[in-house]
Amino acid sequence: MKYVDEFRNGQQAQEIAKKIAQLVEELGIDKKKPLQFMEVCGGHTHSIFRYGLAQFLPDEIEFIHGPGCPVCVLPMGVIDDCIAIAEKPNVIFTTFGDAMRVPGSQKSLLQAKAEGCDIRMVYSPLDALTLAKKNPDKEVVFFGLGFETTMPSTALTVQQAAKEQVNNFSLFCNHITIIPTIKAMLDSPDMRLDGFLGPGHVSMIIGTRPYEFIARDYQRPLVNAGFEPLDILQSVYMLVKQLVDKRCEVENQYKRLVPKEGNRAALQAIADVYELREFFEWRGLGSIDHSGVRIQPKYKQYDAELKFDLPKQKIADPDAAQCGEVVTGVIKPEQCKLFGKSCTPETPIGALMVSTEGACAAHYHYGRVEIPLANLGK
Amino acid sequence: MCLGIPGQIIKITDPERQLATVEVSGVKREINIACVVDPEQPIEHCIGYWVLVHVGFAMSRIDEEEAAKTLAILKELGEVQEVLHEMQESNKSLSQ
Ligand code: SF4
């Protein structure tokens, strides 16, 4: 763990930490009411835990782990729909590995596979398309999920399928979109956020403009952040600095990857293939208006939702599960009644326990490890 | 799944479908490069580019130094190995 050690003992991290502490002192924050910054992206959640970043920050700053781990917010009904497709005769159902263990109301995709369904893990939607070409007598379905980071990949795959007329391929589209989601967080009465770490890889696609309403209409700062530990600390510094200066802006710490205008080719593919749904159901958060996309009518023959009869049932999370409260920052993962008891990474009840980008799994794996820190001069 | 991993474009394999061979940490794999192609230049211009690869698609250009640093960190965290494993599993899924 050369890099991790270097980072933990490194000069730079300690210097930033010191500067953050000074700024926080200037603000005169009450320890009982710490500043709350939401990291929207699961990649950040992962880095924060992996490097024990909270320990570099004064007690007056708290990370709220947002909804940005796409597998964590998949409702159980969607997993049931996937299994319903996979159970049909002649279907090869393909998905990213992350989705395999998310619990549905009866079982996960992994369990369905063990029971004999032809479910295969693929690295890329392009591999699913190749599989369709290799198996012309089968229906190959790809389960598309994720925010704008993965959306271009499935959009380009659908375009390619159309171009080559691979008609035994379809996409079960469960992509979600970031802006309406952040807006819903801001509108939620439970939430009292002081700023956002913007999701670097989503921003690489959509650019920085779409976030401007957050600063303008909600008076909250947002800093687009990279994923290395120093990136995150620096972004926190930039957020606190804005508060000290009484500014509210969209800033870009991750300039080396995030162009202001986003990625044109990717945005064109998204606009060509998808359209907004009226609403999308989230695990733990309920329904959020315009937060999901579906396939446009012109590509309807590649839409698994139209090709197959789906149960499309709304299934409530188990009563004791408090995933919604964790995602909105109302409670910490370990405060959930099931945390580490009936809900563990081996036997997840909520999806936040499945992926290491989920707040509960990250907390379970790394949150309890005591990390010796060099004197930060706090 | 959302993790991007740096790789280098070494050969254009299918200009029409914008596919290229990208080397990711010693492993070669076919990747779609539509999102990093410069429309003003012939596609061969991309050879040698370092790119961030997400689920089989090059999503953005990065500089070589950045790529090396990111790779070193991801390797140490075991995340490069994870992505390579996913690629391998995918090959198995294709040859079943
Ligand atoms: S511990 Fe399990 S049930 Fe509780 S919030 Fe986390 S994922 Fe949900």
Residues in CB range of A27: below 8 A, 6 or more apart: A35, A60, A240, A243, A244
Q: Does one domain contain both A114 and A172?
A: yes
Residue numbers of chain A with a pLDDT score lower than 50: 369-378
Sign of the alpha-carbon torsion through A259, A202, A213, A40: negative
Torsion of CA A54, A59, A61, A63, to 10 degrees: 40
* Cα–Cα dist A295/A273, whole Å: 6
Mean pLDDT of chain B: 91
CATH code for the domain in which residue A247 is found: 3.40.50.11750
Q: Does one domain contain both A170 and A211?
A: no
pLDDT of residue A369: 47
> Is B70 an 8 Å CB contact of chain A?
yes
- Within-domain flag for A153: yes
CATH code for the domain in which residue A110 is found: 3.40.50.11740
pLDDT of residue B1: 61
ipTM of the complex: 0.92
Domain locations in chain B?
Answer: 5-95
pLDDT level of residue B2 (50, 70, 90 thresholds): low
Token pair listed for A119: 């479910």
* Cα–Cα dist A175/A163, whole Å: 22
Token pair listed for A239: 């957020």
Distance A344 CA to ligand 1 centre (A): 8
Please name the member of A127, A257, A269 whose beta carbon is closest to the beta carbon of B94. Answer: A127
Contact list in A for residue B87 (CB cut-off 8 A) is 123
Q: Tell me whether residues B1 and A265 touch, CB distance under 8 A.
A: no
* Cα–Cα dist A249/A171, whole Å: 38
pLDDT of residue A370: 41
Tell the burial category of B63 from Cβ atoms under 10 Å away from its Cβ (0-12, 13-18, 19+).
exposed
Say whether B3 sits in a helix, a strand or coil: coil
Q: Which residues line ligand 1 (CB under 6 A)?
A: A 321-323, 326, 333, 336, 338-339, 343, 349-350, 352-353, 360
Token pair listed for B34: 């539509």
Beta bridge partners, A279, equal A289
Q: Tell me whether residues A265 and B34 touch, CB distance under 8 A.
A: yes
Q: Tell me whether residues B52 and A160 touch, CB distance under 8 A.
A: no
- Within-domain flag for A297: yes
Taking the CA of residue A352 as reference, the ligand 1 atom at the shortest distance is 7
Q: Does one domain contain both A81 and A152?
A: yes
Residues in CB range of B14: below 8 A, 6 or more apart: none
Q: Tell me whether residues B2 and A123 touch, CB distance under 8 A.
A: no
Residues in CB range of A343: below 8 A, 6 or more apart: A321, A336, A349, A350, A353, A360
* Domain encompassing residue A105: 76-176+292-307
Token pair listed for A98: 């992350």
- The residue to mutate among A76, A330, A353, having the most atoms of ligand 1 within 8 angstroms of its beta carbon, is A353
Q: Does one domain contain both A10 and A137?
A: no
pLDDT of residue A372: 41
Nearest to A355 by CA among A294, A283, A290: A283
Q: Does one domain contain both A236 and A300?
A: no
List the single residue in A with minimal CA-CA distance to B87: A123
- Within-domain flag for A200: yes
- Within-domain flag for A185: no
Please name the member of B63, B76, B89 whose beta carbon is closest to the beta carbon of A3. Answer: B76
> Which one of A265, A281, A307 terminates a domain?
A307
The one-letter code for the residue type at A214 is I
Q: Tell me whether residues A94 and B93 touch, CB distance under 8 A.
A: yes
Number of domains within chain A = 2
Q: What is the pTM of this model?
A: 0.91
- Within-domain flag for A357: no
Say whether A88 sits in a helix, a strand or coil: coil
Distance A323 CA to ligand 1 centre (A): 5
- Within-domain flag for A58: yes
> Is A111 an 8 Å CB contact of chain B?
no
State the DSSP code for A377.
-
Phi, psi of A36 (to 5 degrees): -115, 115
pLDDT of residue A368: 54
Beta bridge partners, B8, equal B23, B50
How do residues B13-59 score in pLDDT, each as one tens digit?
999 999 999 999 899 999 999 999 998 999 999 999 999 999 999 99
Q: Does one domain contain both A55 and A116?
A: no
Give the CATH number of domain B5-95: 2.30.30.140
